[in-house]
Amino acid sequence: MPTPILHKESLIPGKTSKLLLHAPNIAQKARPGHFVMLRMHAKGERIPLTIADADPKNGTLTIVYLVMGKSTTLLEALKVGDEIQDVCGPLGQPTRIEKEGNVVCVGGGTGIAAMHHIAKGHARAGNCVVSIIGARSRELLLFEKELSAFVHELLVTTDDGSYGRKGIVTEVLRDRLANDPGISEVVAVGPVPMMAAVAETTRPFDVRTTVSLNPVMVDGIGMCGACRVTVDGKTKFACVDGPEFDGHAVDFTELCRRLTAYREQEKHSLELHEKTRS
């Protein structure tokens, strides 16, 4: 069933946008950590996107995407009132959320949006949430306002020092872990190298670390194993067993390499699309 777009907000012009979708059946069930599969048109591919927020009362879903290839370029071309051909979900296991004390939620890039939903869940469960978000520079920073609405502390880094602390999120995280022994869990969502770095940062402190993985997916319902990852030496399907796993047990090197599988075809597909568009 086509899913209409109710609102659209450009977060980073031409690069990242936030969409509010009318999807009452999914919104009712969506919990932090869930994702959806989207297909843009009759000849389209299926792509996974994390649910950044859900409003069951109004029947809406928020998704945030980075324009990377053909499918997200097609998504970026849609306006308010347009429809997405297929939206399927909510998929994956929801985040394990219980009252556990102090939780640090780390987000990088578009992952901040997905992290936001998880952080919100933790805050609602009564946990004290510290959020650390980072970007290359100030204008690339997402969801600062949304996070400020409920987190107890928001720490910001930029690579170039144009806003917040100069540096990367793991430096702030390390300081925090060193000075605050009461942290019960660290959650990280972002690019694979960032999540791997967070896991390495927390490992010596022996703090539970949850990461949300983003492998290649096809169906998103456990049928094919395209999204398989190695966790603790065992093969898991991120779409049904995850997408969240113990960051200390994930084989990030393998995940990074598996993400390159279709790089040439992805490039070709985008170039062709841009050529025919211009």
Say whether residue 126 binds another protein (CB under 8 A). no
The residue written with tokens 């300081």 in the block is 175
Q: Binding of another protein at residue 214 (CB under 8 A)?
A: no
Q: How far is the CB of 116 from another protein (least distance, A)?
A: 22
List 22, 46, 208, 248, residue binding another protein (CB under 8 A): 46
204, exposed or middle or buried, with CB in 10 Å at 0-12, 13-18, 19+? exposed
Longest dimension (CA), the chain: 57
From 6, 12, 125, 240, residue interacting with another protein (rule: CB under 8 A): 240
Q: Is 51 exposed, middle or buried (0-12, 13-18, 19+ CB in 10 A)?
A: buried
> Which region among 36-44, 110-118, 142-150, 202-210 touches another protein (by CB under 8 A)?
36-44
Does 262 interact with another protein (rule: CB under 8 A)? yes
User: Which range, of 124-132, 164-172, 190-198, 226-234, touches another protein by CB under 8 A?
Assistant: 226-234
- Residues 6 or more apart whose CB falls under 8 angstroms from that of 31 comprise 54, 90, 94, 95, 121
Q: Is 128 annotated as a binding residue?
A: no
256 is known to lie in a ligand binding site: no
Binding site residues, another protein, CB under 8 A: 1, 25-26, 29, 39-40, 43-46, 70-71, 85-91, 218-219, 221-226, 228-230, 235, 237, 240, 254, 257-258, 260-262, 265-266, 268-269, 272
